[in-house]
Structure 1
Amino acid sequence: MLTPSEVSAKLKIQPSTLRKYSALLEQEGIQFQRTHKNARLYTDSEYIAIEGIIAAVHSGKKSLEEAVIEASKALKKNVSVAPRERDSDDIAAATLNEVKQLRIQLQQQEERQKERDIMFVEVLEKMQRKIDVLEDQQKQLLAPVPEEPELEAPKSSSQQPKSEPETVMPKKDTRGLWARIWNK
C-alpha cells in the first residue's frame, strides 16, 4: 500500500491534485482503504489507474471526466475480490487459487480431448476395415472370368520343332453363353 505522499512523489503531482483525482474515482464507486487518521491508501492498481488518468488528460485525447470513468471501469474489472481482501497477500492467494482452478479445468479438457481422440481413431479404423472389405468385393466383381479351355488337346512337345516355340494364341469363343453350354 502506498501513502498519498508516496503516490504524489512518484507521479510528480501535488497532493491536492491527487486528492482531486481520488475524489473523482470515489464518485465512480472506487473505495480506497484508509488509515486510522482517515488518509487514503493506494494499491498498485489504484496507482496505475491514477497514472493512466494523468496520461490520458495530458495527451489531450480525453477529458478528465472520461479518463476517470475509464480508469474506474478498469479498476472495477480488475478487482474480483472483496475490498477488504485487496492487499497484496490476499490478491496473491486469490490468484494462486484461480490458477489452480484453471489447471484443473485444463486437465479435464485434456482428458476429454484424449477420449475424443481415442473414439475418433476407433471410428477411423472401423471405416478403414469397411473400405478394405468393399475394395476386396469390388476386386472380386471386376476380376476377369477364366475362359473355358478348348476341347482340343495341345500338341505334344515331341511333335513341335525345338528351334521355334509356338506363339499361336487360341481363338476366343465369341458365342453366347447358352450356345457355349449347348455347344451349338
Structure 2
Amino acid sequence: MYYLICKSLHIIGVVSWFAGLFYLVRLFVYYRESLDRREEERSILTVQLSEMINRLFRIITTPAMILTVIAGSIMLILQPVLLQAPWMHAKLGLVLILLIYHYYCYRIIKTIEKRGVLWKSFQFRLFNEIATLLLVAIVFLVVMKNAFNALYGILGFFLFGVIIFIAAKMYKKRRESKINQN
C-alpha cells in the first residue's frame, strides 16, 4: 500500500516537474525576446516575466522535483530489489542529468536577475528540447524495462534528438522568412 502511494506521488511529481521545466524554459524564450522590444514594452515585460520565472521555479518546479526525488527514493527503500535492475541504473543516470538540467535552469534565473542573458531565443528553444529528450527516454525506459534493448534505445534517443533539432531549425527558418516578408 505504501509503495503504491509513493508511486502515485512520484508520478504526480514527475508530471508537475516536467510541466514546470517546459514552461520555465519557454518563459526564458519570452524574456529573451522581450529584450528586443521598445524600451516601454521591455521594461514592463522583463519585470513581469522575471517574476513569473521566479514564482514558477520556486513554487511549482522545485517542489515538484523534491516530491519526485523523495517519493522515488522511498520507493527504492521499500523495494530495494529495483536497484539490481540495469534499467533502473539507466533511469537513475537520466534523472541525474535531469537534476543537472534543473540546476542549470536555476543558474539561468540568477543570470536573468542580474539583467543579463547570453543566449538567443533559438538557443533557449533548443535547450528546452533537452527536457523533452529526457522525458521520452525515461518514460520508454520505465515502461519497457528489461525488454528495452540498450542499443536500439540509444540509437532511437539520438535519432529523436536529431529530428527535434531539424524541426527546430525548420521552424526558425520559417519564422525568419515570415518576419522578413513583413
Q: TM-score scaled to structure 1, two decimals?
A: 0.22
Q: Which has the larger radius of gyration?
A: 1
The higher relative CO (CA closer than 8 Å, separation ≥ 6) is in: 2
Higher helix proportion, which one?
A: 2
